[in-house]
């Protein structure tokens, strides 16, 4: 049996996969089992921000392999301490907790918010979350997720979540006054929800409301943190600092990781025994994460991401102008973008783009998401736009 047949026979049927088996990557290019190459505008869903076969990531892993892969968190380890310092010195945070995935970071954030409320703010356990949000698949994260399609069949969920409209304060203004609520969780840019970018005024006002009512503000930056938006953290685009922030995806250069960052004031609610993870913060993964963090904080790296983001924005608007009947809207912040179609199924477009040698992801029914590695070059962006125009041209002819 080949890779696809084995997968379909032995792996649980939870993923709608593209008909493509990938075996190797280098830079922004991936190769399938037949040696065909693809330029990556997906990055393993915003994970491979430095692309593939990155020297700094590889060397950090190889060097650490010979020293220590894992010890428990009953002991101190260097890579964990070093990255925690870097994350704190470069953000609003005073303390970090390491875990292994985005969903796990959300679980940590929820637990921290609840125990903070119990110990200090004396508020209830409920949390305000956003409609159309996505926070992960474990029960806490799933419950925080404001999309019914992910809940169906798994009820009862964790109680206490109220979903309000994203980018709209109408309901929140009253809810935050209710002492049953201890936190608001929001993605500054909803990734899975369709690349919906929060308004600066909305986040600022939300911050004011949460401060005034002594309620914690949690930003989920699992998808858009760590350079994706052209700033080190997405919140920096909005001049608003949260109390707690979750990170994951790209942080360890492709190895599994999650992190909960918090202000000292909030983090003090955790004490030994409250929360833990066997693998969280392990030396091998954290060595890769240190290498990743050092790369993206090098002089000029993020400025370059911003420039390429601006360039993508111009090019996507050109594409929209070329296909006004097919493309409803384009949205870009840094190197995460959406092409929203009127009627076309984003998955169909993604399949056509694969045939032309480009990988993208479809979110929601009609939104094609672009999250290329942050090392993508302008000429590769041009190549993508050319192929996207070819694909859409076929539909233009059909719909005429």
Do the beta carbons of residue 337 and residue 369 sit within 8 Å? yes
Nearer Cβ to ligand PLP (50/248): 248
- Could you say whether residue 134 binds ligand PLP (CB under 6 A)? yes
Nearer Cβ to ligand PLP (18/311): 18
Per-residue exposure over 345-370, b if at least 16 CB sit within 10 Å of its own CB, e if not: ebbebbbbbbeeebbbbbbbebbbbb
Site for ligand PLP, residues 305 to 364, rule: CB under 6 A? none
Piece of 133-141, 167-175, 232-240, 365-373 that binds ligand PLP (CB under 6 A): 133-141
Residue 223's alpha-carbon distances to 59, 85, 181, 204, in angstroms, are 25, 22, 25, 21
Q: How far apart are CA 236 and CA 188, in angstroms?
A: 10
Nearer Cβ to ligand PLP (187/243): 187
Nearer Cβ to ligand PLP (57/106): 106
- Could you say whether residue 129 binds ligand PLP (CB under 6 A)? no
- Could you say whether residue 280 binds ligand PLP (CB under 6 A)? no
- Could you say whether residue 102 binds ligand PLP (CB under 6 A)? yes
Q: Which one among 91, 223, 229, 312 touches ligand PLP, defined by CB under 6 A?
A: 223
Q: How far is the CB of 153 from ligand PLP (least distance, A)?
A: 19
Piece of 25-33, 86-94, 217-225, 299-307 that binds ligand PLP (CB under 6 A): 217-225
- Could you say whether residue 252 binds ligand PLP (CB under 6 A)? no
Piece of 14-22, 98-106, 120-128, 268-276 that binds ligand PLP (CB under 6 A): 98-106
Q: Which one among 25, 51, 108, 136 touches ligand PLP, defined by CB under 6 A?
A: 136
Q: How many residues of this chain bind ligand PLP (CB under 6 A)? A: 15
Q: How far is the CB of 135 from ligand PLP (least distance, A)?
A: 5
Binding site for ligand PLP (CB under 6 A): 45, 101-103, 106, 134-136, 187, 191-192, 220, 222-223, 248
């Amino acid at each position: 049996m080949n890779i696809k047949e084995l997968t379909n026979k032995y792996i649980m049927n939870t993923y709608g996969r593209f008909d493509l088996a990938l075996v190797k990557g280098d830079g922004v290019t991936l190769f399938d089992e037949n040696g065909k190459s693809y330029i990556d505008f997906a990055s393993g869903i915003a994970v491979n921000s430095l692309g593939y076969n990155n020297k700094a990531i590889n060397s950090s892993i190889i060097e650490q392999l010979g020293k220590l892969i894992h010890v428990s968190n009953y002991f101190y380890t260097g890579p964990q301490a070093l990255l925690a310092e870097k994350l704190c010195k470069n953000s609003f945070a005073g303390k970090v907790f390491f875990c292994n995935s985005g969903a796990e970071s959300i679980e940590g954030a929820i637990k921290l918010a609840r125990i903070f409320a119990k110990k200090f703010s004396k508020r209830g356990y409920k949390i305000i979350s956003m409609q159309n949000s996505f926070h992960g698949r474990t029960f806490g994260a799933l419950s925080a997720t404001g999309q019914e399609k992910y809940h169906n069949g798994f009820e009862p969920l964790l109680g206490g979540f109220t979903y309000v409209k994203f980018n709209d304060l109408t309901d929140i203004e009253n809810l935050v006054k209710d002492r049953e609520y201890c936190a608001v969780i929001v993605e500054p840019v909803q990734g899975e929800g369709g690349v919906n970018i929060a308004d600066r005024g909305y986040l600022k006002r939300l911050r004011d409301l949460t401060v005034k009512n002594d309620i914690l503000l949690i930003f989920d930056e699992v998808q858009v943190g760590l350079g994706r938006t052209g700033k080190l953290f997405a919140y920096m685009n909005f001049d608003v600092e949260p109390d707690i922030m979750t990170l994951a995806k790209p942080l360890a250069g492709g190895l599994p990781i999650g992190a909960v960052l918090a202000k000292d004031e909030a983090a003090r609610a955790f004490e030994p025994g409250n929360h833990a993870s066997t693998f969280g913060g392990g030396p091998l993964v954290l060595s890769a994460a240190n290498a990743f963090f050092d790369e993206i904080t090098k002089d000029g790296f993020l400025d370059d991401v911003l420039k390429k983001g601006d360039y993508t924005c111009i090019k996507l608007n050109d594409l929209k102008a070329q296909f006004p009947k097919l493309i409803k809207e384009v949205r870009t912040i840094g190197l995460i973008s959406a092409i929203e179609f009127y009627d076309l199924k984003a998955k169909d477009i993604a399949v056509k783009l694969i045939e032309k040698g480009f990988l993208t992801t479809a979110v929601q029914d009609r939104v094609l998401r672009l999250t290329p590695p942050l090392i993508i070059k302008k000429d590769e962006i041009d190549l993508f736009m050319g192929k996207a125009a070819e694909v859409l041209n076929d539909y233009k002819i059909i719909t005429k």
